[in-house]
Amino acid sequence: MLELSRVTKAYAGIPAIDAVDLTIRDDEYLTLLGPSGSGKSTLLRLIAGLDMADSGRISLDGDDITFRPTHLRNLGFVQQSYGLFPHMNVFDNVAFGLRYREIDPVTDDSEVTRRVRSILDLVGLGDLGGRMVGQLSGGQKQRVSLARTLVTEPKVCLLDEPLGALDANLRERMTVELRKIRETLGVTFMHVTGNEAEALAMGDRMIVLDRGRLLQVSDPDSVFRAPRNVGVARFVNAYNILEGEVSDGSFRYRDLRFPAHGAPSGRASYAIRHDAAEIHTDTAPPESHASLPATFVASEFLGSRFFYFLRLPDGTIFDVERHLSREDPRRIEAGTACTVSWDPASALVFDAQGARLGDDTLKGAA
């Protein structure tokens, strides 16, 4: 178990990581989502010991490792740029840690060979041991980098945007394989990414980071369905967010009012999930729905889903996502005036500080 408490790091006075508390459990797949500049790489480097925290404490299985040098931490680190040793072949790259590490190096050559072979087989590179790394494709480099780390049996394996440099096809395949490899070895993965779909799909648990602070730590489903913060709702990229004000228990957006029961008055954000909205061109929206006038802009077909883009009177783009399993795609002329509607009970309201109203997890915390 890896624990961070009040870990803080600033560069030139600008905080990159701000009093972060986090527990990373054994044998889990943890994803860390954050926009670029959110401090996600910094957090990873602090855990790996490649940068030192200004204050706070990092401990691994109860040992304080805050200032322990990287090579004594027994944490794996897979970089986005792979960091392969260009002057060695694949086998020597993978064997490097076993042979030369400070703690418990493997001196028996046949043992090194056995372990390297088996890990190369696991990542599907069994027959490439003799290749120089310069002759590998991007996906193969990625696997070498992973194998090189996993063969040393780290307690936690940190992956910095591991799929970032791969093309879409390969990315999809690696997504499945990463999970499989992790489960085979039972090692904890902490996977950093800027891609919300990746973070939601891969993690057993998911962390959302913004401006050096953790916005939410929970299972991906909760992050997706119940973002605890308007920032999280933005990062998961599945909500239309309207800015307005709450008064008398309703949310006021321009001259419209949507029910927002129990919300305190003041500035607020109102989020409607892409797939919770419906488009009406000639029919009136259901009585119970809240609705907005909009102009149709375009549609996009994504396999099993359809995306419709509409423009609100103030120019904001409003996304509507419909699944083909539920209804047929609709053909709407660009420029058509229509109405978007949604069940107000499905909408989320965030207060001026960005916290979601009615979030049960809030109670008892803080």
Partner 1 sequence: MADSTADMAAGTAHAARDGRGFLARHGNYLLLVPGVIWMILFLVVPLGMMVYVSFWTQTTFSISSDLTLQSWITFFSSDTYFGALLRTLKIWLYVLVLTFVIGYPTALFIGQVVRNKTVQTVLLVTCVIPFWTSFLIRVLAWRPMLGVEGAINILLQKFGLIAEPIEVLLFTELSVVIGMVQIYVVFMVGPIAFMLARIDESLIEAARDLGASTWTIFRKIIFPLSLPGVVVGAIFVSVMVLGEFATASALSGRKVNLLGNIIVTQVGSLKWAFAAVIGVILTVIMAVVITGLLRIVNLRRAL
Partner 2 sequence: MQSNNLLRTILGAYTGLFILFLYGPFIVMGILSFQAGPEGGPQFPIIEWSTYWYQHVFGLTPPSRVAPLPIGEALLRSLTLAFATMVVSTVLGTLTAQGFRRNFRGSGFVFYLVVLGMMVPGVLLGLGMALVADQVGIDRTWWGTAFVLHVVYTFPFAFLVMLAIFNRFDKSVEEAAWALGVPPGRTFRKVTFPMIFPGVLSAMLFAFTLSYDEFPRTLFTAGSDVTMPIAIYGTFAVEIHPNIFAFGVLTTLFSFALLSVYGVLMTLSVRRAKTAAVQEEIA
What residues line the site for partner 1 (CB under 8 A)?
A: 3-6, 19, 21-23, 49, 52-53, 55-58, 64, 66-69, 205, 213-218, 228-229, 353, 355, 361-362, 365-366
Q: Cβ 32 to partner 2, closest distance in Å?
A: 17
Are 18 and 211 a contacting pair, CB within 8 Å? yes
Angstrom distance (rounded) from CA 347 to CA 242:
11
Q: Cβ 171 to partner 2, closest distance in Å?
A: 21
* Interacting partner of 52 out of partner 2, partner 1, none (Cβ under 5 to 8 A depending on kind): partner 1
Q: Cβ 128 to partner 1, closest distance in Å?
A: 35
Residues of this chain that bind partner 2 (CB under 8 A): 48-50, 69-72, 74-77, 79, 81-87, 89, 96-97, 100-103, 130-132, 134-135, 145, 148-149, 152, 158
* Interacting partner of 138 out of partner 2, partner 1, none (Cβ under 5 to 8 A depending on kind): none
Angstrom distance (rounded) from CA 243 to CA 271:
9
Closer Cβ to partner 2, 101 or 257, answer by number: 101
Closer Cβ to partner 2, 48 or 242, answer by number: 48
* Interacting partner of 19 out of partner 2, partner 1, none (Cβ under 5 to 8 A depending on kind): partner 1
Q: Cβ 295 to partner 1, closest distance in Å?
A: 37
Q: Cβ 47 to partner 2, closest distance in Å?
A: 11
Q: Looking at the chain, how many residues does it have?
A: 366
Angstrom distance (rounded) from CA 103 to CA 193:
30
* Interacting partner of 22 out of partner 2, partner 1, none (Cβ under 5 to 8 A depending on kind): partner 1
**Amino acid in position 164:** G
Angstrom distance (rounded) from CA 79 to CA 75:
13
Angstrom distance (rounded) from CA 312 to CA 291:
11
Closer Cβ to partner 1, 228 or 234, answer by number: 228
Q: Cβ 348 to partner 1, closest distance in Å?
A: 15
Reading the block at residue 137, the tokens are 């494709």
Distances (CA, A) of 146 to 70, 79, 137, 184: 17, 9, 14, 14
Query: Which parts of the chain fold into alpha helices (H)?
Result: 40-48, 90-100, 109-122, 138-150, 168-185, 196-202, 220-225, 230-235
Please state the three-class secondary structure of 54-84 as a single string: CEEEEEECCEECCCCCHHHCCEEEECCCCCC
Closer Cβ to partner 1, 90 or 232, answer by number: 232
Closer Cβ to partner 2, 66 or 316, answer by number: 66
Closer Cβ to partner 1, 262 or 364, answer by number: 364
